[in-house]
């Protein structure tokens, strides 16, 4: 208790970040040799120039491990100090145990809570929101949050409207309880009625065999519809975030969006009246890595020196489900 008798407020502060991209790079020119496309066509519509592809035998957990180790090193935290691991992914290593459990053991953090969160491209925002609640309630003081994906394992390389978009990668943050600064609010939403606009229509219970309904483990997307809903949803969640914190859009120092499509990023920046110089863009380097996109961009922004301590950051994402969300934080 403080002297006034009130309970001191606790925030979730980012203590360290890390990221990892597989060694293999697939450029737009490389893709043009296997599907009817070109660097000009892809770049003009998406802003993507290349994507990274996990090697044979390299899993979502492997990518998560490398990103997590770098985040822990950045934070100066040992694995046995972790109270919880929350991992956002839609491409887990196994049906069970969770990829978070596999990561926990590999890090040597056995004993703490560990679980996966599946919210497609919004997975990291969902995961960091869950971690924030654990810290705010006092149930955890040090939490590892990861977004990791091997989306290229379910890409149809003959379908040019989808295969050009996705890549593999992972990002991670370490959150620590702090009395001064950190995550101010998170906002999560979903609309399952729109599932068939962006989905993979197979699974354990539905079944994996191909029939008139299921066409294999492949991403299916109605691109123009997804774009329309994404822009509208992100506009709404940005307004909600600003209103919840009594802020004006010009108070935001940096926008760190899901790296899916440069056009969506530009539309969100325009809504915020934010110049692109204040928006972190890495989609050209790795494409859409789903739940890995936001932490990859965040780690790049911090390690490059663009983002500085004390600045106000707005993180947002939109993905299959539909799911969407935001996190406002003072770095």
CB atoms within 10 A of CB 186: 22
| Residue 112 among the catalytic residues | no
Higher pLDDT, 102 or 1: 102
Does 23 have pLDDT greater than 70?
yes
| pTM listed for this prediction | 0.95
pLDDT at 5: 55
Domains of the chain, CATH where assigned: 11-179 (3.40.47.10), 184-330 (3.40.47.10)
Q: Classify the phi-psi angles of 117: left when phi > 0, otherwise alpha if psi is within -120 to 50, otherwise beta.
A: beta
Only one residue has tokens 């940005």, namely 238
Does 7 have pLDDT greater than 80?
no
Catalytic residue among 121, 163, 187, 286: 121
User: What would the pLDDT profile of 145-177 be if each residue is shown by its tens digit?
Assistant: 999 999 999 999 999 899 999 999 999 999 999
| Residue 118 among the catalytic residues | no
Indicate the range of 3-17, 62-76, 209-223, 290-304 predicted with least confidence: 209-223
pLDDT at 207: 87
280 confidence band (pLDDT: 50, 70, 90): very high
- Cα-trace Rg, the chain: 19
Tell me the CA distances in angstroms from 330 to 178, 223, 291, 308, one per residue in order. 11, 34, 21, 10
Catalytic residue among 66, 286, 288, 300: 288
| Residue 258 among the catalytic residues | yes
Catalytic residue among 187, 258, 286, 300: 258
């Amino acid at each position: 208790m403080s002297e006034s008798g009130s309970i001191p407020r606790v925030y979730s502060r980012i203590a360290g970040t890390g990221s990892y991209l597989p060694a293999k790079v697939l450029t737009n020119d490389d893709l043009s040799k296997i599907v009817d496309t070109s660097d000009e066509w892809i770049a003009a519509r998406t802003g993507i120039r290349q994507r990274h592809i996990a090697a044979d035998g390299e899993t979502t957990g492997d990518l998560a491990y490398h990103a997590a180790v770098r985040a822990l090193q950045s934070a100066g935290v040992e694995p046995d100090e972790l109270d919880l691991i929350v991992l956002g992914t839609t491409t887990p290593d196994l049906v069970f145990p969770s990829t978070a459990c596999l990561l926990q053991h590999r890090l040597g953090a056995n004993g703490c809570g560990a679980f996966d969160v599946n919210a497609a491209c919004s997975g990291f925002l969902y995961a960091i929101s869950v971690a924030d609640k654990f810290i705010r309630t006092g149930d955890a003081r040090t939490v590892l949050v990861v977004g990791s994906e091997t989306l290229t394992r379910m890409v149809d390389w003959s379908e040019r409207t989808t295969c050009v978009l996705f890549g593999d990668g992972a990002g991670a943050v370490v959150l620590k309880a702090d009395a001064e600064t950190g995550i101010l609010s998170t906002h999560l939403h979903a609309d399952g009625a729109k599932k068939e606009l962006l989905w993979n229509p197979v699974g354990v219970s539905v079944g994996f065999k191909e029939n008139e309904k299921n066409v294999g483990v492949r991403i299916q997307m109605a691109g123009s519809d997804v774009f329309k809903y994404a822009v509208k949803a992100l506009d709404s969640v940005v307004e909600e975030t600003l209103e919840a914190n009594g802020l004006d859009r010009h108070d935001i120092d940096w926008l760190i969006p899901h790296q899916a499509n440069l056009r969506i990023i530009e539309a969100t920046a325009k809504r915020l009246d934010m110049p692109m110089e204040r928006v972190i863009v890495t989609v050209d380097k790795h494409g859409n890595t789903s739940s890995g996109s936001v932490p990859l961009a965040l780690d790049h922004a911090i390690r490059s020196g663009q983002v500085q301590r004390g600045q106000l950051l707005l993180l947002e994402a939109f993905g299959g489900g539909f799911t969407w969300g935001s996190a406002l934080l003072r770095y």
